[in-house]
Structure 1
Amino acid sequence: MTTPSPHPNTNSPLLRLEGVSRSYGVRHAVDEVSLDLHAGARHAIIGPNGAGKSTLLHLIAGTLRPTAGRIRYAGHDIRRWPPHRRARAGIARTWQHPALTRPLTAAQNVLLAVPGQRLAALRTDPRAVAAAYQALTQVGLTDHADLPAARLAYGDQRRLEIAVALAGRPRLLLLDEPSAGLTTGEITGLTQLIRALPADISVLLVDHNLDMVAAVADTVTVLHHGRHITTGTPTDIRDHPDVRRVYLGATPTSPPAPTNAASACPHPTGAPVLRVRDLRAGYTGAAVLTDITLDVRAGRVTAVVGRNGAGKTTLINTIAGLHPAGPGSDIHLHGRSVAGLDTRARARAGLGLVPQGRRLFAGLTVDEHLALPTPHPTRARTVTPRQVLDLFPALAERRHHRPDQLSGGEQQMLALARALVAAPDVLLLDEPSEGLAPAVISHLAAIITSLANRGTAVLLAEQNLPLALHVAHDIAVLDRARIARHVATADLRDCPDQLHDLLTIPATATA
């Protein structure tokens, strides 16, 4: 097998895409994209959801094959190379959601990526162990080397995935939405990590965070509907009118001005639909949540915010029945205890869930996903699959597509649409804005506000603080396993610095 030379011609690009396309029937996810990436480059790809960004990374990594065009790496045509051969040649990648072996420790996850290492031989080769710890040191995770990946905070899982990629000694590193779901402080650390990578590693980055893109990338390419719009410096891209129109969903002179949830059609305060009392939860003896007390009322949005690792996802999953609650925990829905019910029974009683990571069925189409949920016979369906598709026009055009044929944003829309068809009285949303473009986040905010205005009780766990402040009526701050503060959002909008000490999120963070 021929592998790329370790010292290619420095005048030739390390990676060259020539008219690369990927089609699903008549739909062109990537449409004749050409791109040159030279050794040591820091190149970003941006664009609205559905632009073809992640599909392009799949084509380079080999998890998808192009339907047209040529991909050259270090002078070799690699169109027909399988993913493992590309990885051995120096192409490493991360994913939109951390793809880790969760029962294994952080060190064991990295050891699996060390060249020549096998699962049966973990920790037997001192050189492999040293290489694994070197990668963990690069991302600042040596203190967590012996923790199972499942026990790491979400931001640390992101860093661990980069360590796994670095352990393979890549020449080309593909990063897919690495900042999604991270706090501003964690994004700052990620930016520093990428900028500190050795100059002999080329980086191709897909991300929606324009501030991070500007901080790490020398060149930015913009895609829209699979086609190339423009390529230039971060400054050129920010000022490009077509980029602002397709990516931000607005022109520089007419920014969108959505209505705040807390001031639109307020519902009278009554008995809470969802009551949580003394909720406890943890993992293998380690307490994650302690004495959580929370009320969620009809027609109102309660947002739970906190650092990564504070327990937001654990709270959502415990209420939904996906994670066991500790002794003494009490969860009431419409005055009835559901603590002893399984997840399916809670869903039929009126709990809807949009989980982090989407959890879609790989073999089912959009239409088939929307045909699955059925409300309990005693509860009338408030929205039909057809009406849900009216809320998400992009999904209406993809009704016969499976999740792997959808963009990340379209997958998130499908997860939300599936939950809405079940007509929940309480909707649990876990990081719904993760990986979404700014224009789509505005659309998401409008949908959440509309649901509350129709009387749905919404519990939102969200890392995007500006979105939470925009749609929520009240904010609960998780810190050190407890709700450290619960305050009306209206009291925070004028003084967002009040959350700074607990969240370590600057008040100037952008949506």
Structure 2
Amino acid sequence: MTGALLRLEAVSRCYGARRAVDEVSVELRPGARHAIIGPNGAGKSTLLHLVAGTLHPTSGRILYAGRDIGRWPAHRRARAGIARTWQHPALARPLTAMQNVLVAVPGQRLSALRPQRHAVTAAHTVLAQVGLTAHAAWPAGQLAYGDQRLLEIAVALAAGPRLLLLDEPSAGLATGEVTGLAELIRALPDDITVLLVDHNLDFVAAVADTVTVLHHGQHITTGTPAQVREHPDVRRVYLGTDTPINPAPDSVATTAAVAGTPVLRVRNLSAAYSGAPVLTDVTLDVRAGRVTAVVGRNGAGKTTLINTIAGLHPSQPGTEIVLNGHLVTEIPARRRARAGISLVPQGRRLFAGLTVDEHLALPRPHPARSRAVDARQVLDLFPALVQRRHHRPHQLSGGEQQMLALARALVAAPDVLLLDEPSEGLAPAIVGQLATIITGLAADGTAVVLAEQNLALACQVAHDIAVLDRARIIRHVATADIRAYPTDLHDLLTVPTTTPTSS
């Protein structure tokens, strides 16, 4: 018997004939910082589910502290010291940050009228550890996305884990936030072993001692971050070096602006949470065949803007949202959807119990609208989904889930497509495919509003870029100007100006 804290021996997980994880063996010694990387569909998140107990292996053994835990339920593993975060933050959004953490502290009863003193002390300690002391009394749902990520890590740490599982912890974070997260993970005590999944190779190199690469559920290689980055198979399957990720600037969509009234016209849009202003006097025009990207730091209000346009968040008096010449500010989200606004939300928001086919049967445009598409036409854009038509979301990779969320929106034949952080959690090669799809939709006449943390993707697909800062759009420029002077926005936004590379 070795001194491994976690040992996977030829572990497999099958969905019918499909092997999501195919005889993978991994070993983590106490205190290790180990990363799992690979393209979307490689089986990374499935592997974390198998370790956490939310899935059970079809074959193979999972040994934790010398015990076979392959059939243990998730709650028993949690009590034994295995804590996890999720690909998208899983928090009790109405509860405060402090209350979310208190729930995880061992010995704190949910039914207690007052939290125990030791639990409060422990909660304050982990909130300070992740830098959220000032936000302890904030409802989790009102925190910026990056802070929600940190809060979820605080919840996991509050449980006092021996093994910490992190699923895409850097996804959707700005460069400064990723740097802070790396420092947080490096500073964890040696008695906490970390197993993480992430697409950001720079982040992985900053925190991981060893890296395992998966592809189609199979083990490709394990080594140091430097060894893995130079491995030819890793460069091919993960970074997609067989095909270019970034088109040359001249090949970016160049559809001319359609003269006349914009398809979507936003005037004086203001929105708030609990009375605190989040957006103030936002003005935006989007024309058919054009992609407008909205960029900004986490917490700048990008998601709020998208949700307010879609009707999921209330606007303040004075706001005007006009679709095809008709005022839609006061009508509910479902009527805006039928009138021609489709949303691909951050986090995908898929229905766990529905198959791919059933998701695509849900949207229906208004009968009076001339545009119409069917599921077969949409699936032509997403060949990977054709073989998954009878699968449910948990059986899909992260990239396939994102494609399903986009396909569902397109079935409604929208005049305006709202995309909220569509590249989050996607491998570089899949981001390249996404860029091709977005530019193709614009070329076919769809007006696209893209809220995106990844400035490289925004510059790749957008005709113009609006910068959100301090509740307002402070700059609205043509993308060509940003390509000429990329450091100007980089300094303002602190977001990546290039896609991940292998060097």
Q: Quick one: which of 434, 440, 444 aligns to 1:450? A: 440
Q: What is the match of residue 469 of structure 1?
A: 459
- Displacement of 1:155 in angstroms is 0.2
- Displacement of 1:265 in angstroms is 4.0
Are 1:438 and 2:460 matched, yes or no? no
Are 1:267 and 2:274 matched, yes or no? no
Relative to 1, partners in 2 of residues 1:316 and 1:230: Cα closer, same or farther, differing over 3 Å?
same
Q: Quick one: which of 51, 55, 62 aligns to 1:64? A: 55
The question of whether the paired residues in 2 share the 8 Å contact of 1:466 and 1:510 is answered with no
Within 1, Cα distance between the matches of 2:179 and 2:13? 34
Within 2, Cα distance between the matches of 1:152 and 1:343? 23
Q: What is the match of residue 375 of structure 1?
A: 365
Deviations 1:155-177 (A, max 9, x none): 00000000000011111000000
Relative to 1, partners in 2 of residues 1:440 and 1:277: Cα closer, same or farther, differing over 3 Å?
same
Within 2, Cα distance between the matches of 1:345 and 1:220? 48
Q: How does 1:98-137 map to 2 (within 5 A)?
A: 98-121=89-112, 123-137=114-128
- Displacement of 1:268 in angstroms is 3.4
Which structure 2 residue ranges, 5 or more long, are not aligned?
Answer: none
What SS class does the counterpart of residue 141 from structure 2 fall into?
A: helix
- Displacement of 1:409 in angstroms is 1.4
Deviations 1:32-88 (A, max 9, x none): 111111100010000111111001100100011111111100000111211111111
- Displacement of 1:227 in angstroms is 0.9
Q: What is the match of residue 180 of structure 1?
A: 171
Relative to 1, partners in 2 of residues 1:261 and 1:391: Cα closer, same or farther, differing over 3 Å?
farther
- Which segment drifts farther, 388-397 or 346-355? 388-397
Q: Quick one: which of 199, 215, 226 aligns to 1:224? A: 215
- Displacement of 1:377 in angstroms is 2.1
The question of whether the paired residues in 2 share the 8 Å contact of 1:304 and 1:476 is answered with yes
Q: What is the match of residue 164 of structure 1?
A: 155
Within 1, Cα distance between the matches of 2:138 and 2:3? 43
Q: What is the match of residue 490 of structure 1?
A: 480
Q: What is the match of residue 190 of structure 1?
A: 181
Q: How does 1:75-154 map to 2 (within 5 A)?
A: 75-121=66-112, 123-154=114-145
Relative to 1, partners in 2 of residues 1:261 and 1:70: Cα closer, same or farther, differing over 3 Å?
farther
Relative to 1, partners in 2 of residues 1:64 and 1:266: Cα closer, same or farther, differing over 3 Å?
same
User: Percent of counterpart pairs with the same letter?
Assistant: 75
- Displacement of 1:393 in angstroms is 1.6
Relative to 1, partners in 2 of residues 1:145 and 1:312: Cα closer, same or farther, differing over 3 Å?
same
Within 2, Cα distance between the matches of 1:441 and 1:165? 29
- Displacement of 1:181 in angstroms is 0.5
Deviations 1:212-254 (A, max 9, x none): 0011111110111111111111111111111111111114xx7
Within 2, Cα distance between the matches of 1:170 and 1:264? 49
- Displacement of 1:260 in angstroms is 4.6
Relative to 1, partners in 2 of residues 1:18 and 1:342: Cα closer, same or farther, differing over 3 Å?
same
The CA RMSD over aligned residues, in Å, is: 1.5
TM-score, scaled to structure 1: 0.95
Q: Quick one: which of 247, 259, 280 aligns to 1:290? A: 280
Deviations 1:385-442 (A, max 9, x none): 1222222121111100011111121111100001111110000000000000100000
Within 2, Cα distance between the matches of 1:257 and 1:197? 36
TM-score, scaled to structure 2: 0.97
Relative to 1, partners in 2 of residues 1:424 and 1:310: Cα closer, same or farther, differing over 3 Å?
same
- Displacement of 1:264 in angstroms is 3.2
Q: What is the match of residue 342 of structure 1?
A: 332
Are 1:246 and 2:237 matched, yes or no? yes
Q: What is the match of residue 28 of structure 2?
A: 37
Q: Which amino acid aligns with 2:484?
A: D
The question of whether the paired residues in 1 share the 8 Å contact of 2:108 and 2:115 is answered with no
Within 2, Cα distance between the matches of 1:167 and 1:439? 36
Q: What is the match of residue 409 of structure 1?
A: 399
Relative to 1, partners in 2 of residues 1:442 and 1:130: Cα closer, same or farther, differing over 3 Å?
same
Q: What is the match of residue 314 of structure 1?
A: 304
Within 2, Cα distance between the matches of 1:259 and 1:371? 37
Q: What is the match of residue 350 of structure 2?
A: 360
Relative to 1, partners in 2 of residues 1:260 and 1:450: Cα closer, same or farther, differing over 3 Å?
farther
The question of whether the paired residues in 1 share the 8 Å contact of 2:53 and 2:73 is answered with yes
The question of whether the paired residues in 1 share the 8 Å contact of 2:292 and 2:463 is answered with yes
Deviations 1:85-111 (A, max 9, x none): 111111000000000011111111011
The question of whether the paired residues in 1 share the 8 Å contact of 2:363 and 2:412 is answered with yes
The question of whether the paired residues in 1 share the 8 Å contact of 2:245 and 2:428 is answered with no
The question of whether the paired residues in 2 share the 8 Å contact of 1:329 and 1:339 is answered with yes
Relative to 1, partners in 2 of residues 1:158 and 1:70: Cα closer, same or farther, differing over 3 Å?
same
Within 2, Cα distance between the matches of 1:290 and 1:209? 33
Are 1:333 and 2:323 matched, yes or no? yes
The question of whether the paired residues in 1 share the 8 Å contact of 2:428 and 2:500 is answered with no
Are 1:213 and 2:204 matched, yes or no? yes
Q: Which amino acid aligns with 2:14?
A: S
Q: How does 1:38-53 map to 2 (within 5 A)?
A: 38-53=29-44
Are 1:478 and 2:468 matched, yes or no? yes
Within 2, Cα distance between the matches of 1:39 and 1:331? 55
What SS class does the counterpart of residue 105 from structure 2 fall into?
A: coil
Are 1:19 and 2:10 matched, yes or no? yes
- Displacement of 1:344 in angstroms is 1.1
Relative to 1, partners in 2 of residues 1:367 and 1:339: Cα closer, same or farther, differing over 3 Å?
same
- Displacement of 1:380 in angstroms is 3.7
The question of whether the paired residues in 1 share the 8 Å contact of 2:247 and 2:460 is answered with no
Q: Which amino acid aligns with 1:17?
A: L
Within 1, Cα distance between the matches of 2:143 and 2:364? 35
- Displacement of 1:259 in angstroms is 5.3
Within 1, Cα distance between the matches of 2:216 and 2:145? 30
- Which segment drifts farther, 386-395 or 259-268? 259-268
Q: What is the match of residue 3 of structure 1?
A: none
Relative to 1, partners in 2 of residues 1:500 and 1:125: Cα closer, same or farther, differing over 3 Å?
same
Within 1, Cα distance between the matches of 2:250 and 2:314? 32
The question of whether the paired residues in 1 share the 8 Å contact of 2:210 and 2:225 is answered with yes
- Displacement of 1:500 in angstroms is 3.1
Relative to 1, partners in 2 of residues 1:276 and 1:262: Cα closer, same or farther, differing over 3 Å?
farther
The question of whether the paired residues in 1 share the 8 Å contact of 2:428 and 2:499 is answered with no
